[in-house]
Amino acid sequence: MQNESIEILQTEEEFNHAEQNGFIPGEEELAKDHAELLVNPKTINHHVNEIIDALNNGWLDPTEAFVGLKRLSEVANQATKVIQDRVEEILEGHKGPLKIMNAEISIRKGATRYKFDHIPEIVAYKEKIKILEDKSKAARDAIERGDELYSGKSGEQIPPAEKVVSKSSIAVKLLDK
């Protein structure tokens, strides 16, 4: 095997010449490589796993980990909003989904919604429905308290609403956005 040595560039002129000829990566190339590394799924997973490991090893309080991950999520959401228009421009010029970084990305057209609050008959029916729903909720509450089945003014029995309790959530308000 032949001994290889790295030649040290002595002058700024030699360095600039080497850089211009592609022997030394320039600032822009290094910045691009660094940027690609930042969004690499393995890098992202690594950082999140470091948080989980610190939590599991008792080095990080669970509430601090939760708030930190919530902050990460908020920052990521804000960043995606900032670049969304640029991404849409790219995708509009692309036929079909774009495959990148082991993912498919495409534009999903916004849903069509209809508004009826300007139609008096519909507003009146919705108000009637709201009154019936409130009576049905009151019937459910009466049953839970052990009271007699709730009835309306005319004595008719009001069917109780079905009660569905959603899963609890943890609210985080970031104070230093």
Element (H, E) at 39: none
Local structure of residue 146 (DSSP, 8 states): T
Report CA-CA distances (Å) from 33 to 6, 37, 38, 108, 149. 23, 6, 9, 30, 70
For residue 171, the SS3 value is: coil
Q: What single-letter DSSP state applies at residue 157?
A: B
Instruction: Please write the tens of the pLDDT for every residue from 81-107.
Output: 998 999 888 888 888 888 887 888 888
pLDDT in tens, 27-48: 666 667 666 767 777 888 888 8
At CA 163, angle to CA 162 and CA 168, rounded to 5?
Answer: 150
Q: Alpha carbon 85 to chain centroid distance?
A: 17
Locus of tokens 């959603």: 166
Contact 15, 25 (CB under 8 A): no
Q: How far apart are CA 50 and CA 65, in angstroms?
A: 10
Going residue by residue through the chain, which has 177 residues, state the pLDDT in tens, using 9 for 90 and above: 444 434 444 456 655 665 566 555 556 666 676 667 677 778 888 888 999 999 999 999 999 999 989 988 988 899 889 989 998 888 888 888 888 878 888 888 889 999 999 999 999 999 999 999 999 998 899 888 988 766 667 777 888 899 999 999 888 787 875
Phi-psi region of 67 (alpha: psi -120 to 50; beta: other; left: phi over 0): alpha
